[in-house]
Amino acid sequence: MYHSGPFDRTVDVLVLGFGDAGAVAAMTAHDEGAEVLVVEKQPSHDHRPNSRYAAGFFLVPTDVERAVEYLTALYAVNGETVDPELIRTWAVETAANPAWLERHGGGFTETGILGEHHTIPGHDAITVYKTKPGPRPPGYTGCPMHGFLRHLVAERGIEVQYGTAARWLLTDERGAVTGVLLEGDERIGVRRGVVLSVGGFEASERLKTQHLPVTPVHFYGTEHNTGDGIAMGVEAGAELWHMNVWPGHFVARFPDSGYGGGTAVDLWGSGRFGPAADRRPPGSIFVDASARRFLGEPGPQHAAHLELLAMDATRLTHPRVPTWWIFDQARFDAATLVPTYSGPTGPVGDLAWSPDNTEELRRGWILSADSPAELAGRCGLNPAALETTLTRYNACCAAGTDADFGRDPATLTPINGPRYFALPLWPGGSHTLGGPRRDARSRVVSVRGGFVENLYSAGELGSLHGLLYPAGGGSIAECLAFGRIAGRDAAANKVIGA
C-alpha cells in the first residue's frame, strides 16, 4: 500500500509475528545493534503460536554436501527446481543450529532419527535432535524450544506489542517497503526492514479450499493463522510458492470439543510416531470407504496424506476422506489415542483428553461394537468387506509378512476384539508451507523480478519445503536458520531514505 505521509513511530527492524522464527529474527537483529519491535496479533495472556504446539524436534544435517543432495532430490520428485544457493544455505545454517543453541544456553539430545525418505540419496545425512526443557517465561506451557526463545527475547528487553494485527505493508513510489499499517490505523515506519513471520493459513477455510488439493484439511495448532502474510505479501508484489503442499498426517477432529482444528493420533500407544522399542504394539489398520486397507500403516510420517488425495472421478468422491482407524480392546486400553506431549491435546491444553479414553467413548467421538460387522454398520462401511479385510490382515499377522503393503513385521499384531473400535481420520497436519517465496538471504522474491526491497520472511510462511518434507523437526530447524538470516540481513540493510 503506497504511503507518503508520516509514521506514528519508526524503528530499525519490525518483526511481524512472535513464533520461533519471529523470536530468532528479533533477537538476532537486536544483537546486531538494531532497534527492534515485534508485533503479535494474539494477546499476551493467551499467546498460542504454532511454535508452542510443537514437540521440540529439529533436524540437523551431519554432512552438508549430502544434505544438499537429499533436499535437491526431494524437490526433483515433484519436478521442482530450486535455487541451489537457497538449498546450500539451508544445509549450512540448519547444521549450525546446535552450536547456536549451545551459545545461548540451550540444551538438546540426539534421537537417532534420520531423514524420512529412505529411498532418497543422502537421507542418512540428516538426523533429528530434541530440545531439552530450559529457561522459559513464568507459567509457560508447551514446546520447550519456544519457551526458551521467548526467554531469550525477554532477556534482551525487546519490545513485543501484543494484541495487534498487521494489515498492510506500506511502500514508497518504487514499491520498497517503508513500514506497516497496523489495526487501529497505527503506522509504524522502518529504517532497515520488515520481517514477515506471521505463520501460514491453517485457520483460513477460504485459502485452504482455494489452494490445497483436497478438502477438508484440519490442522493442529493455533487458530490465529489466517493467511495474513499472504495477503500482505501479494499486495506488495511478492511471488508465492508451495501453496498447494504441506507436511501431512492423518488427524482426528472433534468439532464439539470447543477446539476447531485436528489432532494427531498415537497409532501404537507408544507416545511417539513409531512403535515402542520394548514391546509389541497393539493391532491397528486404516481402511477407506470400501473397508479395504490402502497402505502399510501408518505410512511416511509427513507424506501419508498424499495417499488420501485420490478422487473417484465417476462417483465424484474422495474414498479415503475420511479414513477409518480400526483397532480392538488392546489398543483402546494401552494409552490415550492422541499424543499428550504436543499438539492441542498436549501441554497447551486446547483439547482435554481422558487418560483411559472412556470420556471420549462416552461422548461418541470413538465408535465401538462387539463385532467387526456391527462396527462397520456404525461407520457406514460394508460389513462383509470389513470382515474380509480383518481376516486377511490377521492372516498376514500369523504369517509374519504383510503381503499387501509391506508393513513392518514388528507391528503386525492381530485385531481380535473382544470389542472393536473406530475413529474417523482426515487429511491434516501441523502447518501449511505456502506464502511469499524467499531467497537465500530471506529476502522476499518479487513477481516483477528481483526482490521486494526491505522485506524479509522466515518460518512456515513461504517455507522452502516442497511436496516432500525432509524429516521431523524440519520446520523448527528452518525457523531458527532463516530467522537468523532474516534478522542479520534486515539489521545490516541500508537505512531507508539515506
- The DSSP result for 376-393, as a single string, is HHHHT--HHHHHHHHHHH
Instruction: Identify whether the C-beta of residue 293 lies closer than 8 Å to the C-beta of residue 389.
Output: yes
Instruction: Calculate the CA 335 to chain-centre distance.
Output: 24
Q: What angle do CA 243, 21, 35 make, to 5 degrees?
A: 125
What is the per-residue burial (b if ≥16 Cβ within 10 Å, else e) of 21-48? bbbbbbbbbbbbebbbbbbbbbeeeebb
How many residues are there in the chain? 498
Question: Domain range spanning residue 390?
Answer: 248-429
**In a domain? residue 335:** yes
* 38 and 183 belong to one structural domain: yes
Closest residue by Cα to residue 241 from 431, 485, 463, 85: 463
- Position 395 scores a pLDDT of 98
Is 197 found in the same domain as 60?
A: yes
Q: Do residues 229 and 457 lie in contact, with contact meaning Cβ atoms separated by under 8 Å?
A: yes
96/230 same-domain check? yes
Is the peptide bond preceding residue 138 cis, with omega within 30 degrees of 0?
A: no
The last residue of one of the domains, among 412, 429, 446, is 429
* Grid coordinates given for 208: 485452504
Given a contact cutoff of 8 angstroms between Cβ atoms, the answer to whether 486 and 263 are in contact is no
pLDDT of residue 497: 60
Helices 474-492 + 20-31 axis angle, to 10: 30
**Tens digits of per-residue pLDDT, 127-145?**
999 999 999 999 999 999 9
What is d(CA 340, CA 271) in angstroms, rounded to the nearest whole number? 8
Over the stretch 375-397, which tens digit does the pLDDT of each residue have?
Answer: 999 999 999 999 999 999 999 99
The DSSP letter of residue 410 is G
Residue 300, in any domain of the structure:
yes
Name residues of the chain where pLDDT drops below 70.
497-498
Q: pLDDT tens digits for 96-135?
A: 999 999 999 999 999 999 999 999 999 999 999 999 999 9
- For residue 137, being part of any structural domain is answered with yes
Q: What is the dihedral of CA 404, 410, 414, 418, to 10 degrees?
A: -150
Task: Give the global pTM.
Answer: 0.96
The reply to whether 340 and 225 lie within a common domain is: no
Give which of 164, 212, 471, 202 is closest to 343, Cα–Cα: 202
On whether residue 467 sits in a domain, the answer given is: yes
CATH number at residue 274: 3.90.700.10
Task: Copy the grid coordinates of residue 107.
Answer: 540444551
Q: Widest CA span of the chain, in angstroms?
A: 76
**Residues 410 and 455 reside in one and the same domain:** no
Using H for helix, E for strand and C for coil, what is the string for 165-195?
A: CEEEEEECCCCCEEEEEECCCEEEEEEEEEE
Does residue 373 sit within a domain?
A: yes
Span between the terminal Cα atoms of the chain, in Å: 21
Q: Note whether residue 27 is domain-resident.
A: yes
Do residues 284 and 220 both lie within one domain? no
The residue out of 405, 429, 453 marking a domain boundary is 429
Distance CA 176, CA 139 (A): 41
449 and 375 share a domain?
A: no
The CA R_g of the chain, rounded to the nearest whole Å, is 23
Pairing of strands 323-328, 420-429: antiparallel
Write down the residue that cell numbers 470420556 correspond to: 359
The reply to whether 498 falls in a domain is no
Q: Are residues 268 and 227 in the same domain?
A: no
Contacts (Cβ under 8 Å, ≥6 apart) of 489:
193, 441, 442, 443, 456
| pLDDT tens track for 346-376 | 999 999 999 999 999 999 999 999 999 999 9
Q: Of 402, 429, 456, which one is at a domain's C-terminal end?
A: 429
480 and 393 belong to one structural domain: no
CB-based contacts of 190: which residues, under 8 Å, 6+ apart? 10, 11, 12, 13, 14, 177, 178, 179, 180, 454, 496
The enclosing domain of 111 has a CATH number of 3.50.50.60
Q: What angle do CA 72, 483, 41 make, to 5 degrees?
A: 120
Same domain, 45 and 144: yes
pLDDT of the residue at 33: 97
Are 229 and 254 within one domain?
no
Instruction: List the one residue out of 430, 470, 464, 466 whose CA is nearest residue 444.
Output: 464
Angle of helix 84-95 relative to helix 474-492, nearest 10 degrees, comes to: 100
Work out how many domains the chain is built from and give that number. 2
Q: Which parts of 95-247 are beta strand (E)? A: 108-114, 126-131, 159-161, 166-171, 177-182, 186-196, 218-219, 240-241
Half-sphere exposure of 15 (CA within 13 A, CB side): 37
d(CA 221, CA 206): 18
> Which pLDDT does position 330 carry in this prediction?
97
Same domain, 313 and 367: yes
